[in-house]
Amino acid sequence: MEVKLLSEHYDKKEFRHLEGYQKLGGYSALKKALKMKPEEIVAEVKNSGLRGRGGAGFPTGMKWGFLPQNGEPRFLLCNADEGEPGTFKDRLMMERAPHQLIEGMIIAAFGIKSQKSYIYIRGEYYQPYKIVEKAIEEAYKAGLLGKNILGSGFDHEMDVYRGAGAYIVGEETALISSLEGKKGQPKLKPPFPAVKGYLEKPTIVNNVETLAAVPWIINNGAQGYKKYGTEKSPGTKLFSVSGNVNKPGVYEVPLAYSFKDLLENECGGMKPGFKLKALIPGGSSCPVLNYDEAMKATMDYECMSQMGSMLGSGGVIVIDDKQCMVDLLNVLMHFYHHESCGQCTPCREGTGWMEKLSSSIGAGRAQLSDITLLDKVARQMMGTTICALSDAAALPVISFVSKFRDEFEFHIHEKKCKVKGHCHAQSHH
Amino acid sequence: MPKVTINGNTIEVPAGTSVIKAAQLLNIPIAHYCWHEGLSVAGACRMCMVEVEKMPKLQVACNTTVTDGMVVFTNTEKVKTAVKWALDFHLINHPLDCPICDQAGECKLQDYYMSYGLYTPEMNQPKVKKEKVVSLGDRVVLDQERCILCSRCVRFTKEVTKTHELGIFNRGDRSQLATFEGRPLNNNYSVNTVDICPVGALTSKDFRFKQRVWFLKEFDSICNGCSTGCNVTISYNQNGVFRVKPRVNHDVNGFWMCDSGRDIYKYTNKEFRLTQVVERSEKLGGDAVRGKPVALALQEIGRQLSQVIKNKGAQSVGLVWSGQYTNEEYSSMGRFFKDLGVSQFYHWKNNEKDFDSFDGILKRGDLNPNTAGLKKELAGLKSWADFEKQVSPLEMIFVMGPENFGAYSDLEENVKVIKKAKEVVWFTACESSLLKEFKWLIPAKSFVEKSGTFVNSKGLAQAFKAGLTIVPDAVSLEEAVKGMQESARMVS
């Protein structure tokens, strides 16, 4: 069953504007927060166990705790560069509840004592950008942003910044580079952004969904949040489900909800004539699960990790029996090859090599040894680069090849597709 | 100070030292392309992977700071595999055109393949094609297919010259090094990018295709291009000198040298040089006669000198000094003339106006390697203005002329002044049509052919040694003194 802690009012049009949002209880958390001590806010979020919803699942309160306690100016950045293939929950959140995000950001900024924040929004999200920008304007007019917010003495300025269309800018240090006006490339760590980030100042980068969860936690307390999910995966999460299911869309369920239930209850099962074959649970970088694994999976960090995959951003890609895995891998390899920033050698060269190998397999121009080579290249790209894009490109390869090797071999032996007879991969160059 | 143990060897290093630097201090090699001590850390090539105890993943040695008690390994199987693959990733799209590549023989792709690679390549896909022979500026040419995108050159133009001509454009394996539009790589330090390029991507227009590096020998020297005195390495063979590269000296030039300094070798080579004595006299019909053995010429000059002193007095002899000779030469020649009572010493600067200028990096307006040494060895030097006033009555002058005429923008003008003296003995390494009316032209050794000491603008004395002989008849001023002194004393 859906548990709509955040998305309860998402279908109400008035919730998108300040007046309606306030009428439905909005900004009550901010009022409460401004009467708390900043340290109490950080502690509350830490105690709630809220984990970063952008993909890595890093505990949010702990991240905030890395900031130096020296009064140095610091920045809060909202990562709205939602680019992980299969993920479209931040978009919905910004379109349906821009003030929820803004409220969460003001509270977070108060907690970490930041006077300036940016919402870095991907360039392709023009509509959400307009909506968020308008909401910020409303907030300024209502005294919720700017000087002396609601008479608390706390000042905070907020701006929206549009990206220029690079997947890698979803990586927090690349986002910072881009915001600084540089080429969107990840920065070498250490130093970490909490110590030296945007403009070399301490910086916290949080995902849209993470920040949007903050008002609820402040209103209902850490313990209230922990009633949902598991000990290590507390709370709810928004999953964006795509694929040949009856009702694709964004669903908020408690963490540790079973995938089977999500598919059958919320999504209304597979479309007629399609059977579930595989599942990418959290966006394209997460290793694929086969049917048996998918049916046993619960949507939480621990289970996914046990199954050798990741919960990622919650971009649930349902793969049916009419899909060719070679074809799908080709699409992914093309994507990662196109999106590698080119800074680190293994990723720059490896993503291109993997795309070529994968497409030559699909086109029936390869030998069996090329499957092994593809797997080998992917493994050598793991853990060798500044950011995780290299791993993100390698993980699908390793899982696709190990779990669906028969489809790859068929393409090589028969020079046709096992699933469709003829698939894109064959004509793909 | 933290202690680090690398492959079982422990060393104490200053706080903040990186693992790669600590390994360097221990003489433990760690492969690297993007790391350069004189530049910021990029951490992009991923070659310097090491295993650090208690860290699950391999770390890049360039961006790992030593902490006390850290234990590092560079030789485990895990590290070896990672380095081998990092190298392979560098090479999969590399054109492997070593036979026509100028870098061959000093290429880090070749070197590391031999020490860390030795695998059978498995790349069986079409390679990425990029542009070849891209001119980046007056002195540097780029081959984009050979470029490994280590960004050393980009960081150099950003951090050292702050001229920002270079950038890496596009993404992924389509990334390419290029200059920004309308901003060619023409700063006076551009060839440093060629030095720090670990592969054959950036090559020097001056040096490329001139010699295979394995046919070259090297020796250490001091640049004579200006008063900074950059430490250099000079590459040569039996056909002459081919290039000058900077040698690290943190007290002088760090890792770099300027582009004009790169040209100093040219004037040492035979085609520019005065290879024989040139003599002009009434007796010989006023024509230039070449080829008198230098020993005989010096004897004769000594005799003429003593005659002039005897007949007209020591005050009728003057010496014009450029700052291009060694301390030892100034001292011995100075003593020789002072002993004869000659004390009219004039200082010829390269160009008075910009003489004290400095570009903020290395290059100084004083285009002489040893102005400080000249002033120290020969106290009481008079100025060029004095010389202009006093030249006319002089019977005989000796000119210790510049080695590199190009540096002396006022050459033509000043030669006219010198011509006012009756007899001129000019020591010169290079030939010039401007000198054709002087009585004696004595071939002088260039700085690569002699040993001695230069004192730079900061007062640092730097000794250097002769590396090769280019003009067998050329003499240093010390040798010239030896050649003149016997006959000069005989008469007086």
Q: Which domains does chain A have, with CATH numbers?
A: 13-226 (3.40.50.11540), 236-318 (3.10.20.600), 325-427 (1.20.1440.230)
pLDDT at B492 over 50: no
The answer to whether the bond into A191 is cis (omega within 30° of 0) is: yes
Q: Are strands A236-243 and A203-207 parallel, antiparallel or unpaired?
A: unpaired
CB B123 within 8 A of CB A353: yes
How far apart are alpha carbons A119 and A103 in whole angstroms?
Answer: 13
Cα angle: A105, vertex A108, A114; to 5 degrees: 95
CA distances from B4 to A349, B28, B70, B75 (A): 33, 13, 5, 16
Residues of B in contact with A350 (CB under 8 A): 89
How far apart are alpha carbons A285 and B413 in whole angstroms?
Answer: 74
How far apart are alpha carbons B427 and B280 in whole angstroms?
Answer: 15
Supply the pLDDT for residue B352: 83
Quick check: B126 contacting A, CB < 8 Å? yes
> Looking at this protein, which amino acid is placed at residue B304?
Q
Mean pLDDT of B481-487: 94
CB burial string A289-305: b at 16+ within 10 A, e below: bbeebbeebbbbbebbe
Torsion angle defined by CA atoms of residues B152, B155, B159 and B161, in that order, rounded to the nearest 10 degrees: 80
- Facing residue for A342 by CB, picked from B63, B89, B173: B173
How far apart are alpha carbons B139 and B186 in whole angstroms?
Answer: 8
Grade residue B86 by pLDDT with cuts at 50, 70 and 90: very high
CB contact under 8 A, B173 and A348: yes
- Give how far A376 is from chain B: nearest CA, Å: 10
Q: Are strands A298-299 and A315-320 parallel, antiparallel or unpaired?
A: unpaired
Say how many C-beta atoms besides its own lie within 10 A of residue B292's C-beta: 16
- Facing residue for A350 by CB, picked from B45, B89, B126: B89
B125-268 and B272-491: identical CATH topology:
no
Quick check: B384 contacting A, CB < 8 Å? no
Question: Which residue pairs from A376-379 have beta carbons closer than 8 angstroms and sit at least 24 positions apart in sequence?
Answer: A376/B122, A377/A350, A377/A353, A378/A350, A378/A354
Grade residue B171 by pLDDT with cuts at 50, 70 and 90: very high
CB contact under 8 A, A349 and B93: yes
Grade residue B305 by pLDDT with cuts at 50, 70 and 90: very high
Supply the pLDDT for residue B491: 54
Grade residue A179 by pLDDT with cuts at 50, 70 and 90: very high
Residues 6+ away with beta carbon under 8 Å from B110 = B98, B104
Grade residue B460 by pLDDT with cuts at 50, 70 and 90: very high
CB contact under 8 A, B172 and A386: no
Hey, what CATH topology would domain B3-91 get?
Ubiquitin-like (UB roll) (3.10.20)
Residues 6+ away with beta carbon under 8 Å from B112 = B31, B47, B87
Residues of A in contact with B44 (CB under 8 A): 343-345, 386
Please give the structure tokens belonging to residue B238: 């039996």
Strand order in the sheet with A157-162: A157-162, A116-121, A75-80, A203-207
Residues 6+ away with beta carbon under 8 Å from A155 = A115, A146, A147, A148, A149
Supply the pLDDT for residue B430: 95
Please give the structure tokens belonging to residue B81: 């595999």
CB B201 within 8 A of CB B92: no
Give residue-wise pLDDT tens across range A227-270.
Answer: 999 999 999 999 999 999 999 999 999 999 999 999 999 999 99
User: What are phi and psi for residue A104, nearest 5 degrees?
Assistant: -60, -40
Residues of B in contact with A338 (CB under 8 A): 171-172
Please give the residue of chain A at the shortest CA–CA distance from B124.
A357
Give the CB-side neighbour count of residue B238, counting CA atoms within 13 A: 1
Give residue-wise pLDDT tens across range B218-243.
Answer: 999 999 999 999 999 999 999 999 99
Give residue-wise pLDDT tens across range B246-256.
Answer: 999 999 999 99
Q: Sketch the domain layout of chain B as residue ranges.
A: 3-91, 125-268, 272-491
Supply the pLDDT for residue A421: 81
Tell me if residue A321 falls in helix, strand or coil.
coil
- For tokens 């401007």, the residue is B434
**ipTM of the complex model:** 0.94
pLDDT at A350 over 60: yes
Please give the structure tokens belonging to residue A358: 């994968």
Quick check: A373 contacting B, CB < 8 Å? yes
User: Looking at chain A from residue 171 to 190, which residues have their Cβ under 8 Å from any Cβ of chain B?
Assistant: 183, 188, 190
Strands (E), B270-412: 278-280, 288-290, 317-321, 344-347, 396-400
Residues of A in contact with B149 (CB under 8 A): 342-343, 345, 348
> Looking at this protein, which amino acid is placed at residue B290?
R
How far apart are alpha carbons B475 and B477 in whole angstroms?
Answer: 6
Mean pLDDT of B5-10: 98
Above pLDDT 90, what percent of chain B?
92
- CATH of the structural domain B272-491, one choice from 3.30.70.20, 3.40.50.300, 3.40.50.10800, 3.40.50.740: 3.40.50.740
Hey, what CATH topology would domain B125-268 get?
Alpha-Beta Plaits (3.30.70)
Quick check: B57 contacting A, CB < 8 Å? yes
How far apart are alpha carbons B457 and B368 in whole angstroms?
Answer: 10
Tell me if residue A417 falls in helix, strand or coil.
strand
pLDDT at B368 over 50: yes
Chain-wide mean pLDDT for chain B?
95
